[in-house]
Amino acid sequence: MMPRILPVEPGAVPILVWSRALPPGAEKQLRHIAAQPYVVEHVAAMPDVHVASGVAVGTVFATEHHVVPGALGGDLGCGVSAWRFPQPASLPGRDVLEPLLARLAREVPVGDAVHRGRGVPLPSELESPSLSTQKLRHAWERLAPRHLGTLGGGNHFLELDRDADGDVWLLLHTGSRGMGAAIADHHLRVARALGQGALPALDTHTPEGIACLADTQQACHFARANRDAIAARAVPLVAEALGLAPDAESTVDVHHNHVAAEEHGGRVLLIHRKGAVGLEAGQRGLIPGSMGTASYVVEGRGEPRAFRSCSHGAGRVLTRTEARARIRPAALEHALRRVVYERGRAAALVEEAPAAYRDITEVLEDEADLVTPLLRLTPLAVLKG
User: Which CATH number goes with the domain that contains 140?
Assistant: 3.90.1860.10
Query: Model confidence over 53-101: pLDDT tens digits?
Result: 989 999 999 999 999 999 999 999 999 999 999 988 788 999 999 999 9
Q: Which residues have a catalytic role annotated?
A: 312
pLDDT band at 44 (very low <50, low <70, confident <90, very high): very high
Burial class of 268 by CB neighbour count within 10 A (0 to 12, 13 to 18, 19+): exposed
- Is residue 368 in some structural domain? no
The alpha carbon of 360 is separated from its chain's Cα centroid by a whole number of angstroms, namely 15
- Is residue 29 in some structural domain? yes
Q: What pLDDT does 344 receive?
A: 86
Give me the domain span that covers residue 334.
Answer: 4-362+378-384
- Is residue 51 in some structural domain? yes
> Does residue 356 carry a pLDDT above 80?
yes
Task: Summarize the confidence of residues 222-237 as an average pLDDT.
Answer: 98
Q: Considering its fold, how many domains does the chain have in total?
A: 1
Q: What pLDDT does 63 receive?
A: 98
Task: Summarize the confidence of residues 352-359 as an average pLDDT.
Answer: 91
DSSP secondary structure letters along 177-226: HHHHHHHHHHHHHHHHHH-BTTTTBEETTSHHHHHHHHHHHHHHHHHHHH
d(CA 355, CA 332): 9
Query: Model confidence over 156-181: pLDDT tens digits?
Result: 999 999 999 999 999 999 999 999 99
Work out whether the CA dihedral 376, 81, 275, 382 comes out positive or negative: positive
Across the chain, mean pLDDT equals: 95
- Is residue 370 in some structural domain? no
- Is residue 180 in some structural domain? yes
Is residue 39 within 8 A of residue 61, CB to CB? The reply is yes
d(CA 128, CA 24): 45
- pTM here is 0.96
> Does residue 315 carry a pLDDT above 80?
yes
pLDDT band at 229 (very low <50, low <70, confident <90, very high): very high
- Is residue 158 in some structural domain? yes
